Each structure stands twice: as C-alpha cells, then as structure tokens.
Amino acid sequence: MQLRSYVAGEWVSGAGNGTALRDASTGEVIASASSEGLDFGAVLEHARAVGGVNLRRLSFHERAARLKALARFLSERKEQLYRLSYATGATKTDSWIDIDGGIGTLFVYASKGMKELPDGHVYVDGPAEALAKSGGFLGQHICVPLEGAAVHINAFNFPVWGMLEKLAPALLAGMPAVVKPATATAYLTELAFRLIVESGRLPEGAVQLICGGVGDLFEHLTCQDTIAFTGSASTARKLRTHPRVVDRSVRFTAETDSLNSCILGPDATPGSPEFDLFVKEVVREMTVKAGQKCTAIRKAIVPASRSAAVVEALRDALEKVVVGDPRRESVDMGPVASLGQRREVLEQLARLMHEAQVVCGGSGAPTLADADVERGAFIAPTLLHCRDGARARALHEIEAFGPVSTVVAYDTVESAIDLARRGAGSLVGSVFTADDAIAAQLVLGLAPFHGRVLVVNRHCANESTGHGSPLPHLVHGGPGRAGGGEEMGGIRGVLHYMQRTAVQGTPDVLTAVTGRWVRGSRELDPGVHPFRQPFGALRIGDTFRSGEREVTLQDIERFAAISGDYFYAHMDEAAARRNPLFGGRVAHGYFLLSAAAGLFVDPPLGPVLANYGIDGLRFTQPVKAGDRIKVRLTCKEKSLRLGQGYGEVRWDTQIANQDDVTVAQYDVLTMVSEQAVPGG
C-alpha cells in the first residue's frame, strides 16, 4: 500500500514505488511513500489562497472552538492510532505520550485561545505607548497572521504529537499548514491526518499533507511563509541556509537533537527520596520510546562520591527492563524505529565507548521477549560510565539517539554546571535536590544554555511531569545545538506565526484598528446605562459618567471599622502628616473602589450577570476628607463565550476628584448576558 498525500483538498499518490516503510519489530513492509510528481508550488498556493483566507475569516475564538472540536473527534477514535503505533516500536505507554499527548496539546491551545486571546482578529501586544504630551498621538504593537503557509517538517519519533504540537498554535494564529512527516513512521501520521480530514472540523485548505520528500517546495517559499523543523542539526543547517530561505528571510524555527543532562544534587545520598527519584527518572528516559526522544537524558551528572552507588542502582534497574515486541504487555521497551536507526545508534555508541566504560547493555544482541533479533531494530538499554568528564570530548558532542546514557562524575556544583553546558545548547536539563539554594544555583547556571530546566524533590515528585515531557504551556526548544528556536510556550507559540507591527496614530485610530477602546478615544452615549445593554448591543466606547460623591471623615472611620484596616495613614493625622506622600489622613484605596461601584452600578436585574475581577488597579493620587469623587466607565473590550449565552466585557474605569485629577484607574471585568434580561 502506498501512502497518499493530501493536497488541494484531494488524496493523491506519488509516482514510482517509493520508499518501503517497515514494522520496527518484525521488519514487515507496512507501506511505501512517494511524493514524486506533486506540484509543490500549487500546494503552497492552495494554502495561501484558500486555507489562509478561510482561517482568517474566523476569529481567534472560532479557531479555538475548531481545535477543541477536532481534539474531541480524535480522542473518540484514538484506539485505531494506538493499534498502528505498535509498528513504530512504541509500547502502549510510549503511544500514550505520542497520541494522547498530541490530542492534549490541541485541548490546551483551544482553552488558551478562548481565555487569553481576544474574540477578534488582532492580538494587541502590550499597552499603548504615549508619544505626545497631549495623549493625542500614540503607538501600539499589534500582531496579525502571516499570509503564507506554515511548512512543518517533523521527526520520526513522535508521528502524532510532532504534527499536532505544531498545528495547534499555527491554526490558532490563523495560518494554514503543510505537514511533512518523517518518512520512516509516516504511516501513523497519515492515519491521524485522515481522521483530521474526516472530522470536517477545519476549513478547506487549512491543512495539507506530504508523504515523501519535499521536492522543490523550498523554491516556492515567500517572506510570508514559515518553516518549523524538528530533526538533526545537520539537516536543519542545510534547510536554514537554503538560498530561498535566506533571500526571502523566511522564518525558520528549528528544534534539533541535543545532549540533555540530569544532575543529582550533592545533598542526595543513597536512600534519600531525591536519589531514588533520580535513578527512576534516568531509567525512564532511557527506555521510554527506546530512548528516541529529543529530550532524553544523555548525561547523568552525579557527585563523584556517589557515582559508584548511582551506577549500581541504574544497572540493577536496567537489567530488569524487558525488551521485545511492544504489543506484549510484559514488554517494557520496544525497538528503535528502523534498522537504519539501529545502525546509527550503534555507530555513535562505538565512538562513546572510547571514552566511557559500558556498565550494562552494549552493542551485542539483546535478550528479547517474543521478538526476532535479526528482523527487529532492537538495542539493549545501555549505560556507560565516564570517569573523567572534564577531559572527554565525544561525551559532549555525540548523541546516540536510542536507549543510551552515560554517568559522569562532578566534584563541585560549578563543575556540574560546566559538564551540562558543554553540550553547547540543550532542550532540557533537570536537577534532583532537596536543597533549594543548590537548586537555585544550578538553575541559574543552566538557564543560559537550556530551553527548560526541571527541578524535582520529594515535595513535587508526584505531580512532576518529568524531565522529557515538553508541555504546551512552556517553551520547547533551546539555544545552540538544540536549534536556537522555540515551539509552544502557550500564546508565545501562536505569535511565531504572526507579524508584530507598530501602529502610530490618534486614540480613535488605535481603537478602530485593535477593537479595544484606548483612553482618549471618543466616548459613545448608549442612551441608557450601559449595564442595561445586552452583550450584542454594547459598543466599544459606550460610556457612563457618574455624579459626584463627597468623601467624609466618617466614611474613612466607618470603612476602617468594617474592614479592620486601621493603617496610620487613614487614622492618625499627626503620623499621616509625616508621610511625604500624603501629608495628612487619606481615604482607604479600597473604600474608593467601593464608593466608585456605588456610583456606577445599575442595581436592578439586567444583562450584567457578575463582576469577576479587577485588572491593572493603580491608585495615582491620595483622596482626603472633603474631596469629591466621580467615575467614568467605558466599554473597553468584548469577548463572547461561544455557546454559553454570555460574554466577557472589560470596562475601562477612572475615578477622578473634583479637579478632574485621576485618583485611581483600573479595568472592571463583568459577564454580560446575550439577552436583555437573563431568561427573558
């Protein structure tokens, strides 16, 4: 069976026989892959002219809703993905990381899109910048979707997660994607992609799939396209320096193989929770996905005085690992993805063995459960011990991308940091210590060379997501050898697919561009109190201005009695006079908020369902007894909760005194019904 590509809304086969794809355990041919004959220029043009246009018609929230619906659809059909995943060499646990991890990433981005992005098409990046004293000329950074195609080139080790973790932020940003999976395991990606197409949850042109090579696709890239690559540093270098990429300044993000370290703190002695957790983590990272993780632990850096104990504990644990056909429940670790991958791992292992002693495993044939050592791509979990990491070179330059790790000793915390940093840029480093001061020293020493640092101790171990688990909330990437890029990281990942532009103009212009009211813009008169307006009737700029209320000494003293806040600045005139900021007794800031609410709240039952918070509160001037305060309340931003019957409304709120001097400013957050009166 030949895998087919999905381009311009159709499934098409490539010319020729293609590359044979085999079951990693049995060697059986599963499928072949070829993209020969595809018109790659037409693929990119379809993404731009059809997919991009369709996605940009949707708001951020509508795109988020599509992601959530897609995640649910895949979740209900994931068992067929699990069945095929065994062919990649993955155990059921390995497949959970790949399949459920990928689907979970869709769910996270759907949630973040609803909660952290506006119900519109423009992302406002930071506050407006005043560019003139009058406030009539401002600057504002905005982000809008690039109008090209996101080309995603993925690695073989995570055929599902690797695709979905890139798709989620790109689609949420409004950018269509062209997915190119690694050929060795493309059969699983193709099945997952078929489900995506079957779901009908994404607009036409939003996603396309290429099974096989990329042909001349790079020759058709423009400045509006992006490339996100996962794989080897050598391939990344070749693609990054492609003349078209360089000439058109095509955005290129790379996540490449790296030498990741796990450090055992000097306080962790044998028998301590941190020691045992360290051993467990190293074994897990060596055997999950047969060590084929870009985040896997390659260097286990331990105190010299503990190295013998660590080596013994790791050897004991690794000798209990059952290697064989991942379909068997008794099997802990399956094969690497292909015979070619096995050859590569063994070649790199041979180079490491010049500097380190094999403790267990090695290049010999492993003992297998229900598997053929000749036909399957099996490697024994292999632990090495390097006694002089400071003089070693291969240890810090060579990665055997399989179940291989090396124990290396350190004398001081500074030397542990140095050993980890010699990897010249890593995706992740982890630290196991119960000493918070040591943890801080290690984190700050590792941070410049690592994209993520995990600290584990007995208090967080049960909830820790582990050394090798990239999370959609956090950046995945790293400097130097790790590729110099970032993926995911919450909304940061979405912004990779958007253009940041600085807009300059009047407050009214910025309000029109962003859909968010800017102070100084026109205030609109809704004709009734804004709190009487249902969500749909509210306009950005609708404003209520209250009458005045005098603040009295009795107000201050009553509020102190009710709240229990007897701070001297409110209660002791002599002491308050000595405060250079006040020069006498002042009203409580929180009394001002309460009094302001009394001035702007519309009491009867209406569309406003609840006040759920205040953002950006600042008290800018003191208020004393005898001052009069008034409130301006303006509809600043609206965000509809799809299908919930209500939306979130942000109100720009300003409290001023009798001289029109602002004494407090903040945003009031409310939930407003789509109906005039709930239930009406």
Residues 6+ apart with CB under 8 A from 368: 323, 324, 325, 376, 378
- Label residue 579 exposed, middle or buried (CB < 10 Å: 0-12, 13-18, 19+): middle
Catalytic option among 211, 262, 294, 635: 294
Q: Does residue 520 sit in helix, strand or coil?
A: coil
Q: Cα separation of 202 and 180, whole Å?
A: 18
Q: How do strand 226-231 and strand 150-153 relate by DSSP bridges?
A: parallel
Beta carbons of 543 and 524 less than 8 angstroms apart: yes
Instruction: Name the nearest CA neighbour of 97 among 159, 185, 161.
Output: 161
Q: Cα separation of 516 and 530, whole Å?
A: 17
Catalytic option among 165, 255, 355, 486: 255
- The CA–CA distances, whole Å, from 94 to 180, 183, 195, 493 equal 22, 19, 21, 25
Q: How do strand 404-410 and strand 382-386 relate by DSSP bridges?
A: parallel
Handedness of CA 302, 307, 311, 317 (dihedral sign): negative
Q: How do strand 382-386 and strand 357-360 relate by DSSP bridges?
A: antiparallel
Q: Cα separation of 230 and 232, whole Å?
A: 7
Q: Cα separation of 187 and 29, whole Å?
A: 11
- The CA–CA distances, whole Å, from 67 to 109, 156, 622 equal 8, 24, 48
Q: Does residue 663 sit in helix, strand or coil?
A: strand
Q: How many CA atoms lie within 13 A of 434 on its CB side?
A: 11
- 580 φ, ψ (degrees, to nearest 5): -65, -15
Q: Is 294 a catalytic residue?
A: yes
Q: Which residues are catalytic?
A: 255, 294
